[in-house]
Amino acid sequence: MGSMLLAQSQISEQYRNSHNLDARIALHDRFSTNKYDWMRWVFDHMLAAPAASRVLEIGCGTGQLWKNNLDRIPSHWAVTLSDTSAGMIETARANLAATSFAAQVQFWQFDADHLPFDTASFDIVIANHMLYHVPNIDNTLGELRRVLKPGGQLFAATNGPNHMRELDELLVGFDPVLKLQAVTDQFRLDNGAPQLQKHFAQVSLQRYDSNLVVTEPALLLAYVYSVIRAFIIAERWAAFEAYVHAKFVERGGTLFIQKETGLFVAE
Ligand SMILES: C[S@@+](CC[C@H](N)C(=O)[O-])C[C@H]1O[C@@H](n2cnc3c(N)ncnc32)[C@H](O)[C@@H]1O
């Protein structure tokens, strides 16, 4: 059977509100071997930007990048957070509402296919873990380049082909149709650079070193449920839960899952 590619309608359904994304973030927060927070690590790379930068994030999700860095967002940055999902925007707005950062940020709902901004508007553009979803990536990269000022920087995080490979194997062991990796194929650590180089003169890749050592089947199941529930009908879910619990027992209560994650910086 073929691998599981998500159709655009399924991507919209997955991100309709933040619950699915929250389940995924919870697994990483809890079981990552690298205790230096991913969102702090990403933000570290942006701190060399001008003190009065205009910043655009597309596919901002729940606004976690900003929530995890509230203590050090330069006070003269003017930030626009955007997403194609109204539910995500609502959660991001709620997450940041009662903070001093709220005065610096505006929220916009639009699709990354066309950016409603003038050419050369931003010093920084961020597209983290989202370029693999856009319907026409070359068009989106062209738009990101267009709205950046000369000398501006694009930050684009994504995963590599081995990201969560052991989880993929676990799922495929239950049913070959449950293959997750295909979701990111369009823009990964191993194929992102040439795509960026079509639009940007300088492209570098920084890798974040971390894996998952999972000790609670329930959180792994919540993660899987958030990604593939549309494909597992109710009566098979119970069988899948039993299968996952048995795997934990078989491996002495611990499941190792490698991560392969990084950040492209393009100028
Ligand atoms: C995996 S989440 C990443 C969220 C956030 N950047 C982060 O790193 O936590 C992908 C996000 O991209 C958004 N998205 C998907 N397709 C999009 C598109 N065509 N235009 C804009 N946003 C999109 C989704 O709604 C979702 O919020």
Ordered by start, the domain boundaries in the chain are 8-22+33-161+177-209+260-266
Q: Which residues contact 17 (CB under 8 A, 6 or more apart)?
A: 85, 87, 88, 90, 91
**If you search the block for the tokens 């991560």, which residue do you land on?**
259
> Which of the residue ranges 6-20, 28-42, 206-220 would you say has the lowest mean pLDDT?
6-20
Are 102 and 96 a contacting pair, CB within 8 Å?
yes
The pLDDT, as a whole number, for residue 217 is 94
Q: Which atom of ligand 1 is nearest to the CA of 111?
A: 20
Higher pLDDT, 27 or 177: 27
Q: What is the mean pLDDT of residues 33-40?
A: 95
Please tell me the distance between residue 100's alpha carbon and the centre of ligand 1 in angstroms.
24
Q: Which atom of ligand 1 is nearest to the CA of 83?
A: 22
Please tell me the distance between residue 123's alpha carbon and the centre of ligand 1 in angstroms.
21
Q: What is d(CA 260, CA 225) in angstroms, rounded to the nearest whole number?
A: 21
**In the predicted model, what is the mean pLDDT of the chain?**
90
Which of 132, 133, 155 most suits a substitution to test ligand 1, by most atoms within 8 Å of the C-beta?
133
Query: What backbone phi and psi angles, to 5 degrees, belong to 264?
Result: -85, 135
- Give pLDDT tens digits for 223-265: 888 877 656 666 788 899 999 999 999 999 999 999 999 999 9
Ligand 1-lining residues (CB < 6 angstroms): 11, 15, 21, 58-61, 64, 83-85, 88, 111-112, 128-130, 133-134
What's the predicted TM-score (pTM) here? 0.87
pLDDT band at 8; cut points 50, 70, 90: low
Please tell me the distance between residue 130's alpha carbon and the centre of ligand 1 in angstroms.
5
Please tell me the distance between residue 37's alpha carbon and the centre of ligand 1 in angstroms.
20
Higher pLDDT, 14 or 87: 87
Please tell me the distance between residue 172's alpha carbon and the centre of ligand 1 in angstroms.
26
Residue from 244, 59, 262, 66 nearest 166 by CA: 244
Is 161's pLDDT higher than 70? yes
Q: Which residues contact 98 (CB under 8 A, 6 or more apart)?
A: none
Please state the separation of Cα 158 from the chain's center in Å.
Answer: 7
Please tell me the distance between residue 254's alpha carbon and the centre of ligand 1 in angstroms.
31
The pLDDT, as a whole number, for residue 157 is 98
The pLDDT, as a whole number, for residue 5 is 43
Please tell me the distance between residue 250's alpha carbon and the centre of ligand 1 in angstroms.
36
Sign of the C-alpha dihedral computed for residues 171, 16, 182 and 28 taken in this order: negative
The pLDDT, as a whole number, for residue 225 is 83
Is 114's pLDDT higher than 50? yes
Q: Which atom of ligand 1 is nearest to the CA of 57?
A: 6
- The fold of the 8-22+33-161+177-209+260-266 domain, in CATH, is Rossmann fold (3.40.50)
Q: Which atom of ligand 1 is nearest to the CA of 24?
A: 1
- Give pLDDT tens digits for 40-99: 999 999 999 999 999 999 999 999 999 999 999 999 999 999 999 999 999 999 999 999
